[in-house]
Structure 1
Amino acid sequence: MRKLLLLFSTFLVLAACSSGEESGTASGKDKKQEVKLVLDWTPNTNHTGLYVAQAEGYFAEQGLDVEIMLPGEAGADQLVASGKADFGISAQETLTEARIQGVPVVSIGAIIQHNTSGFASPKKKGIKSPEDFEGKTYGGWGAPVEKAVLSSLMEKDNADVEKVNIINMGNTDFFTAVKRDVDFAWIYYGWTGIEAELRGQKLNMMYLTDYSKKLDYYTPVLTTSEKMMAENPETVEAFMAAVSKGYQFAIEKPDKAADILIEAVPDLDPELVRASQEWLSPKYQADAERWGQQDIKVWKNYAEWMYNHNLLDKKLKAEEAFTNEFLPENK
């Protein structure tokens, strides 16, 4: 039904444009719909497909004029929920918590198919397994999920999370922190790990997915609000068509995609962007049938893990937290 309505709406727009041209007045056919997209953090290779869609005109092809915004203190989920942004970047873990709290935000696409994060430390620290966390200092950002994840990994080695010194390192970057008072931290290898390689700093890396399939969740994801899906489904579909094309470009042409991101965000380190893009591009779609595809098992597994570790007050209705409805069909 939604596609029929979309076709009917398109017919009306075309008819209106034709009428305008015949009368000699401005048809308005070149006017684009203004859309706001808020990132989860500063621009990086997780976001490449978005910048490609903008630079290559994929948004414009869909009749969209997209403004890419930084989240500020409010955070992407809140900006999307309040309607101050039409789309956002989030992660399954934060979106799950938001849904439990009644925030009407929904994931409409997985940017990366598998969790590429884990606990990293300089090799000289001698942290080779979760049991080595005992007696060490972990630098985090103060979220309850951090201790829960540390505990779940350490339990497998019969180690005690209470013997870990957990501190909040705020906005201090990984490399500065491990030179001062931090022994290990939670990083995304596709950015910080690649930067370590470029710096010649060898790391011990423990990916979460090596220890539990339930920790293989989607991070990051693209989001929109329930209201946006209900009232403007054609806009959501158009947005996802452009974004999907952007990420497909990044999958097939990582070098060119990296150049686009570098040009769009000149403050980024070009060498890091290119190396990160080469590492990450194959992981956008990975083993999924199409870019952006989400599996309800992934949503259920992680929500169950969070609930069992007392991170959620109630169980998540996983089928309401995400949708594949707006992804383009495979050709």
Structure 2
Amino acid sequence: MKLTQVAPLALLSLTIALSGCGNQTAKDDSKSSASPASTSSQTPAKKLTDVKVVLDWTPNTNHTGLYVAKDQGYFEQEGLNVQIIPPGEGGADTMIASGAAEFGVSYQESITQGRIQGVPLVSIAAIIQHNTSGFASPVAKNIKSPKDFEGKTYGGWGAPAESAMIDSLMQAEKANPSKVKIVNIGEADYFTAVKRDIDFAWIYYAWTGVDAELRGEPLNMIYLNKYSDKLDYYTPVLATNEKMIKEKPELVKAFTAAASKGYQFAISKPEDAANILMKAVPDLDKKLVLASQKWLSPRYQDDAPRWGEQKRSVWENYANWMLDHKLLEKNLEVDAAFTNNFLPASTK
């Protein structure tokens, strides 16, 4: 998935402390010379547990809390030596499910489909409380509602969920989905594609939408969750696998606690958090990162009692939507797909 992209949905195709040592105050010279042993009595540094966290795509503001947790020492305080890594060829979900990375960034969409296929992914925290994705188009295209999709060309990446989503929104408006032309543009840049090949695409507003504002290219945005509660799903999420939860629950708890601190920092200090992300990934567009962070920070937790909280109804609703649109072969075992058990106490 690409963040200046047209693909917020990443469906699976799987087979699948601080060392704690601050500067110690030295003993005075007379004591240290009288008792040499006292100068070598420091407590040994706690051994940190190596952990890999795989991103879903290139670093962006969805991931800020992870970079903050690393930069501010929150992971180390929990006894973790965290390495943030890009996804391999098989994608983040494959790496998380197989244990190649203990944790990673995933989506309710892909976890739902993956679990139906027997993939042991589990969501442990919602990074963003409400779905910020939707169909975007340049204002000049005059696409203000799903009914306006008629006679237009949609650019996507070839997933069945795309046509199902377009059908769902258009049917709610009594429009005709057969009048939409759908083309596969893969990872083509949204801004290039809408000038050349297509009329609208599926984006995350926090990145591509904010980028459009900065470019002076206003767009119309049709948010999915404005048309159905079933489409207000968690995207993205932090995930692990069932084996980690069963065999290393304390590690999962430690990771989630540190990540929560990182996202809380990003909520309360968006500019500082943006600077931390840019320090870690200097190739990012500074203006975009800062603007995106300011837009996204209040939306991480939003109206939830704590950052990361997930509702059973949200998982159930979206699974039912997928089932209704023949994107799932059977019912999802909802309670196995996510857990709030590793989140720290209320952060509001």
Structure 2-normalised TM-score?
A: 0.87
**2:128 maps to which of 106, 112, 136:** 112
How far residue 28 of structure 1 moved from its aligned partner, in angstroms, is 5.7
- Runs (4+) of structure 1 moved beyond 2 Å? 24-31
SS at match of 2:220: strand
- Measure, in 2, the Cα distance between the counterparts of 1:27 and 1:202: 58
Residue identity in the other structure for 1:312 = L
Do the aligned residues in 1 keep the contact of 2:54 with 2:84 (CA within 8 Å)? Answer: yes
- Measure, in 1, the Cα distance between the counterparts of 2:86 and 2:182: 29
Match of 1:69 in 2: 85
- Listed one character per residue, the Cα deviations across residues 212-235 of structure 1 (whole Å, up to 9, x for unaligned) are 110000000000010001111111
Do the aligned residues in 1 keep the contact of 2:51 with 2:102 (CA within 8 Å)? Answer: yes
Q: Which runs of 5+ in 1 are unaligned?
A: 1-20
**2:75 maps to which of 24, 36, 59:** 59
Do the aligned residues in 1 keep the contact of 2:88 with 2:95 (CA within 8 Å)? Answer: no
1:1-331 aligned within 5 A: 29-330=45-346
- Listed one character per residue, the Cα deviations across residues 190-210 of structure 1 (whole Å, up to 9, x for unaligned) are 100000000000101100011
How far residue 73 of structure 1 moved from its aligned partner, in angstroms, is 2.0
Residue identity in the other structure for 2:93 = D
- Measure, in 2, the Cα distance between the counterparts of 1:181 and 1:206: 20
Q: Which runs of 5+ in 2 are unaligned?
A: 1-36
How far residue 32 of structure 1 moved from its aligned partner, in angstroms, is 1.1
* Overall identity of the aligned pairs, in %: 65
SS at match of 2:183: strand
Match of 1:4 in 2: none
Q: CA RMSD in A?
A: 1.6
How far residue 76 of structure 1 moved from its aligned partner, in angstroms, is 1.1
- Measure, in 1, the Cα distance between the counterparts of 2:146 and 2:48: 52
Residue identity in the other structure for 1:309 = H
- Listed one character per residue, the Cα deviations across residues 240-261 of structure 1 (whole Å, up to 9, x for unaligned) are 1100000000000000000000
How far residue 263 of structure 1 moved from its aligned partner, in angstroms, is 0.5
- Measure, in 2, the Cα distance between the counterparts of 1:123 and 1:201: 8
How far residue 107 of structure 1 moved from its aligned partner, in angstroms, is 0.2
Residue identity in the other structure for 1:289 = P
Residue identity in the other structure for 1:117 = S
Residue identity in the other structure for 2:220 = N
SS at match of 2:175: coil
Q: How many residues align?
A: 310
- Measure, in 2, the Cα distance between the counterparts of 1:102 and 1:127: 39
- Measure, in 1, the Cα distance between the counterparts of 2:208 and 2:95: 27
